[in-house]
Structure 1
Amino acid sequence: MLHRFFEEGYWFAPKKFGYGSGLPIAWQGWVLLAGYIVLMFGAALLLESGGLGVTAILVAAMIIMTILFVFIAKRRTKGGWKWRP
């Protein structure tokens, strides 16, 4: 099952205007987006109850998750990322 998640192909449509990815066009893109939202929401909930050390670790984890999400979305966008006026 896991190998099907990493099949070649496009997971996101390009934005019609601007730069970046639009909505997912494959189930893998929807799973990636849902997972990202759940992880960010969970980290945000943990931020409320943590001290300074926990906050620093969670913020760093959120930054890493965002960079990873953007990297994957960029690689799996049909037509790549470019400016579309």
Structure 2
Amino acid sequence: MSKKDKDIWFPAMKYGIGWGLPATWQGWIVFLIYIVLVIIGMLFIKRSPWLVIPFIIYVFVLTGILLFICWKKGEKPELRWGKKL
């Protein structure tokens, strides 16, 4: 594994566009923090159903941050269809 490969936290998906599951411990930490923060937000929704719109905005912001981190620390996002020939 080259140094460039070690810097990639989120590898590109084999098929489609985007990133797959994390490849490094740093990527897993980011991914788990995202999941925990979404779950914490869900707990507030259970207590107050009128917080649905703020929760949706909250999840959009968290997802935007996650996508930004994937973009900075992942492989270049491009349409892939299996291995390159």
Shared fold by TM > 0.5?
yes
Sequence identity, in percent?
28
TM-score with structure 2 length normalisation? 0.78
Q: Which residue pairs with 1:82 in the alignment?
A: 78
Contact 1:24–1:30 (CA<8 Å) still a contact in 2?
yes
Cα offset for 1:9?
A: 2.0
Q: Which residue of 2 aligns with 1:69?
A: 66
- TM-score where L is the length of structure 1: 0.78
**Conservation of the 8 A alpha-carbon contact between 1:16 and 1:84:** yes
Q: 2:30 aligns with which of 16, 20, 32?
A: 32
**Which residue of the partner structure matches residue 4 of structure 1?**
none
Show structure 1 runs of 5+ residues with no match: 1-7
The residue type equivalent to 2:62 in the other structure is M
Q: Which runs of 5+ in 2 are unaligned?
A: 1-5
Distance 1:33 1:51 in 2: 26
Q: Residue 51 of structure 1: CA displacement?
A: 4.5
SS in 2 for 1:73: helix
C-alpha RMSD of matched pairs (Å) = 1.7
